[in-house]
A and B are shown apart, each in its own frame.
Chain A
């Protein structure tokens, strides 16, 4: 699958995990491209890209690496984690971005960022420990696996990791600096999601620009092949806590 397909099939039941129209509180309809740039489609610009970039981007879109690092049980937990760290319930099935295989591939291939913190194990061990901890927390609080929990309960556990106040598994998490793990987890999700042309379309990023370049630098003006912003109101789904303001580090 190289190019997205329009997915017009109606969802069987209306999922409240989608963002809401604030005036009606009805979930916004599924979109091939969420965000404020309807019609922007980076892949359609491929003729203007150089060959090396075109190959790279199309390989990224067209093939999903197999899961080789995580065990099936670990992958089930991680899939649920990733679905909450960067939720895609507002995307059509065909345009969801496969985040977990990208993280798995990084860990399997040992693609590290060039360093390891003194107070952290290897990236691979950090993930394995964290998955155990997340499972232990879910079992202790709810008596079931993380991936079986409803959205809000999953988010509460993740928020407790974000806040560095886990409600169980303290002994496991002592093995490392939880703040650094959280940061690596969210970064890894972002590194896969925002590398994908569907995400570029969502945020209005022009994508590869060689050899053509940009001609309109000022005033936030769109290039002739970009589209203007069309804003609409957007509310997070009702059953989420991940849209609330977080304390900042200023």
Chain B
């Protein structure tokens, strides 16, 4: 098991190196230039342009910039944002808990609803429930996030006035951030109503963010269940006269869950992508919104280091998924 973990960890190094290259290149491949974007409509003289470029080190050949960047990374320096001038890591740490909180709630919603829906759809294959839920999943999967979010805001916040429009908590509440998780901090603050406010602010964004993973998880659960249900051991269990609940709960579900757990793990990456749009529409101060702002401002250091941090986290989550997988299915460990 230790060797398994070590080999996986070792594998992270070249991957991360590859990501630095891609992230570094990606933002520079985009047309547009941070110096000109800073100057905007007012323009900038060639001398001034040269001065700023030199200050930022962008006058050097690109490979040299890359190696400088790598050198700084080795020393734990992710660089400073060229817009806010602040360290990228400090900005990331300040915003990351907001994204994690949203992602956790979203993945819980997606799993808690997605798995049972998939199981029932598989058991009652061809029924109206199966048809409606799978059509729903198809729609959910192809829903444009931005439109979907705005639709929910207009209906639930605008017309019904059930939920707040955007943000993480009502501005009435003001307390120090201890963990960065609003649900926890609001409880710690001891302010009455703060927790309820934080929770109500989470509803719409987490639903929007959960939509695609929910659809994927439901469909994956359904097909995994169907496959397992056709296996010999399930038929044997059924033939032995075991109660249906036991056949499904113990024999089928346990094996069907193996690919489903992988799917859930892989959805973490999807959540990160979805967070970019969800956070933008709900003014959710997380890393998704931070990345999109930084890309549009060509804030090179933020984009290249931010992507690296996000990729690192997605890979660690995937590693954990692999390990869980190994726990459920011992055969994997010995490969």
Q: Do A and B bind each other?
A: no
Q: Which residues of A contact B (CB under 8 A)?
A: none
